[in-house]
Amino acid sequence: MSADLCSCCDGEKLMIPMPNPPIGRQINGQHRHRIGVSIRPGRATRLRSADMNAAPFDRISADSIDTVSVDGALTTTRAVRQRLDLTRPVDQQILLDCIDIAEQAPTGGNQGSRRWLVVRDQGHKDRLAELYMASAGAWMIETRDRLAGSGHRSEKVMTSAAYLAEHLAEVPAIVIPTIIGRHDGSGRPGLFDSVIQAAWSFCVALRARGLGTAWTTAILNNEDDVASLLGIPDSMTQIAMLPVAWTVGPEFSSAPRYPARAVTYFDGFGRIYDDGPSSPPCLADGPGTVVERDIRASVDDVWRAVTDISMPAAYSSEFVGARWVGHDDPAAVTPTVGSAFVGANTHEARGEWEVTCFVSHYEPKRTFGWVTSDVDNPGARWRFDLEPIAGSVRVRFMMNLGPGPSGITEVIASRPELEQRILDRRLSEHRSNMIRVLDGLNESLVTAVD
Ligand SMILES: Cc1cc2nc3c(=O)[nH]c(=O)nc-3n(C[C@H](O)[C@H](O)[C@H](O)COP(=O)(O)O)c2cc1C
């Protein structure tokens, strides 16, 4: 395909005579072009890189942005490896189009310091494939083979990752975003913060055009070798390696992710709400708190600990202990949803009290939750979620107040004008105890491993 043909539609289909097509607007209701894309061979509207000061895209109104398409592209830009079409060439103009879009991303100090390397030379790709294989590819292949047929949660991703490692040299183009400067490793916002968003825009722009890539960083273990292969100066930082190809088939799905409610904290780290929050927040919003720790222990050990209903008593300043209803020996109990236990508590203001709890979630090695007082209208909801991550288990300990009555309801009823303050205080007490529990658990389990 000629570089002067439309790269997003493979040329031929767009060979429609169009006098002075509007640059950067929709053409034929389908193709968006901007300066830099020649619609027909011979058109000389391309803005060269020297024209840096011109605004390369039209000014557009939010009203004309099609959120279905934008959200669709954003939610289905997947790590594409096995569905990279290794047989179909990728025109450089489509890469440049996507880089033009990516360059619109924010950049610290408004300084355009990103530089993009497009690797198409077969010798270079062969060498990059070797370096990728040495950095992680061989491990990916070994892991894929080991996990084959096991049903392990990483089996699919490893099959895909190993495939890329085995076929990297066949990918039509490998794009390496870089940025001027060396990251200082301070952990403060720095160089990465001016390039990652641009590199991701590049990935989404590819997706919108029917191409795909996978965000890969494993080769950065061999950053020096990549630099010497491609002549990248020491003063530059490489960010990722993006193998680019047309995708085999245009359809991709969104991935399972936490819902926004679970990972969005309002006005304080860890603060969650079932609804709202209202202004000011109130008990009816279902306020709660989340604490997380990555615990370096086996999922079996962590699961055993979190399903021991008395475990938190070892660390909490309020929770004293618990017993299963109808069982004297806790070891003999295999809980199911609906199993009941009685928890004992003590608090300097409230004294001592007991509350009956009911198991609400029981998914072995994954989720253990319970509600207090009333299954249908609980006073509070508590839950441990376990997620295996490399070498550790991420434990997410979460609680929400309400919607039913509990001790806090009476306190609020006595001073309704202080509802927000009462809630803040109560949640902060719960949070402190939850932190103690996870820190204590971490210490005891990690010590057991070491
Ligand atoms: C920081 C980072 C580094 C990654 N490095 C690699 C890599 O070296 N090789 C690879 O095949 N995938 C890599 N990935 C891709 C992830 O494995 C991918 O996002 C994951 O499989 C989930 O797929 P999805 O994005 O389609 O949901 C990386 C992703 C991120 C965010």
**Contacting residues for 64 by C-beta, under 8 A, at least 6 apart:** none
Ligand 1 lining (C-beta closer than 6 Å): 78-79, 81, 136, 157, 161, 164, 214-218, 255
Ligand 1: which of 159, 174, 215 to mutate, most ligand atoms within 8 Å of CB?
215
Residue nearest to atom 9 of ligand 1 (CA): 216
Read off the pLDDT band of 10 (50, 70, 90).
Answer: very low
Q: What phi and psi values does residue 176 have, to the nearest 5 degrees?
A: -120, 105
Ligand 1: which of 77, 82, 216, 253 to mutate, most ligand atoms within 8 Å of CB?
216
Mean pLDDT (the chain) is: 87
User: Average pLDDT, stretch 285-306?
Assistant: 97
Q: Enumerate long-range contacts of 331-340, CB under 8 Å, 24 or more apart.
A: 335/307, 335/359, 335/362, 335/368, 336/362, 337/361, 337/362, 338/375
Spacing, Cα 67 to ligand 1 middle (Å): 26
Spacing, Cα 95 to ligand 1 middle (Å): 21
Residue nearest to atom 14 of ligand 1 (CA): 216
Spacing, Cα 79 to ligand 1 middle (Å): 6
Atom of ligand 1 nearest to the CA of 80: 26
Half-sphere exposure of 213 (CA within 13 A, CB side): 27
For residues 78 and 441, give the distance between their C-alpha atoms in angstroms, rounded to a whole number.
36
User: CA 174, 177, 183 angle in degrees (round to 5)?
Assistant: 140
Read off the pLDDT band of 9 (50, 70, 90).
Answer: very low
Atom of ligand 1 nearest to the CA of 255: 27
What pLDDT does residue 24 have?
34
What pLDDT does residue 42 have?
26
Spacing, Cα 240 to ligand 1 middle (Å): 10
Kindly list the domain boundaries of the chain, sorted by start residue.
Answer: 1-65, 67-246, 260-449
What pLDDT does residue 390 have?
83
pLDDT of 419 over the 90 cut:
yes
Q: Contact at 8 Å (CB) between 293 and 438?
A: yes
Spacing, Cα 100 to ligand 1 middle (Å): 24
Residue nearest to atom 10 of ligand 1 (CA): 216
Spacing, Cα 196 to ligand 1 middle (Å): 14
Residue nearest to atom 13 of ligand 1 (CA): 216
What pLDDT does residue 122 have?
98
Say what percent of the chain tops pLDDT 90. 77
Spacing, Cα 33 to ligand 1 middle (Å): 30
Q: Contact at 8 Å (CB) between 235 and 189?
A: no
Spacing, Cα 216 to ligand 1 middle (Å): 6
Strand blocks (E) in 325-425:
340-347, 351-363, 367-372, 380-389, 392-401
pLDDT of 345 over the 90 cut:
yes
Read off the pLDDT band of 294 (50, 70, 90).
Answer: very high
Residue nearest to atom 12 of ligand 1 (CA): 216
Ligand 1: which of 80, 135, 140, 217 to mutate, most ligand atoms within 8 Å of CB?
217
Spacing, Cα 214 to ligand 1 middle (Å): 6
DSSP secondary-structure letter at 314?
G
**Contacting residues for 124 by C-beta, under 8 A, at least 6 apart:** 229, 230
User: Average pLDDT, stretch 367-391?
Assistant: 96
Half-sphere exposure of 268 (CA within 13 A, CB side): 15
Spacing, Cα 392 to ligand 1 middle (Å): 19
Lowest model confidence (mean pLDDT) among 31-45, 147-161, 307-321, 409-423: 31-45
Half-sphere exposure of 48 (CA within 13 A, CB side): 2
Residue nearest to atom 1 of ligand 1 (CA): 217
Query: What homologous superfamily does CATH list for 67-246?
Result: NADH Oxidase (3.40.109.10)
Atom of ligand 1 nearest to the CA of 160: 11
Residue nearest to atom 29 of ligand 1 (CA): 215
Read off the pLDDT band of 36 (50, 70, 90).
Answer: very low
pLDDT tens by residue, 80-99: 999 999 999 999 999 999 99
What pLDDT does residue 153 have?
84
Residue nearest to atom 6 of ligand 1 (CA): 216
pLDDT tens by residue, 64-82: 999 999 999 999 999 999 9
pLDDT tens by residue, 177-223: 999 888 766 554 466 778 999 999 999 999 999 999 999 999 999 99
Residue type for position 21: P
Read off the pLDDT band of 413 (50, 70, 90).
Answer: very high
Point out which residues pair with 386 in neighbouring strands. 395
φ/ψ bin of 132: left (φ > 0), alpha (ψ from -120 to 50), beta (otherwise) = alpha
List C-alpha distances in Å: 72 to 66, 84, 207, 227, 229.
Answer: 10, 20, 10, 36, 37
Burial class (CB in 10 A: 0-12, 13-18, 19+), 314: middle
- Give the pTM: 0.84
Spacing, Cα 157 to ligand 1 middle (Å): 9
Atom of ligand 1 nearest to the CA of 135: 8
Assigned CATH topology for domain 260-449: Alpha-D-Glucose-1,6-Bisphosphate; Chain A, domain 4 (3.30.530)
For residues 390 and 397, give the distance between their C-alpha atoms in angstroms, rounded to a whole number.
19
Point out which residues pair with 175 in neighbouring strands. 118, 242
Read off the pLDDT band of 449 (50, 70, 90).
Answer: low
Same fold, 67-246 and 260-449: no
Residue nearest to atom 20 of ligand 1 (CA): 79
Lowest model confidence (mean pLDDT) among 17-26, 134-143, 331-340: 17-26
pLDDT of 22 over the 80 cut:
no
What pLDDT does residue 4 have?
31
pLDDT of 38 over the 50 cut:
no
Residue nearest to atom 15 of ligand 1 (CA): 215
Residue nearest to atom 30 of ligand 1 (CA): 215
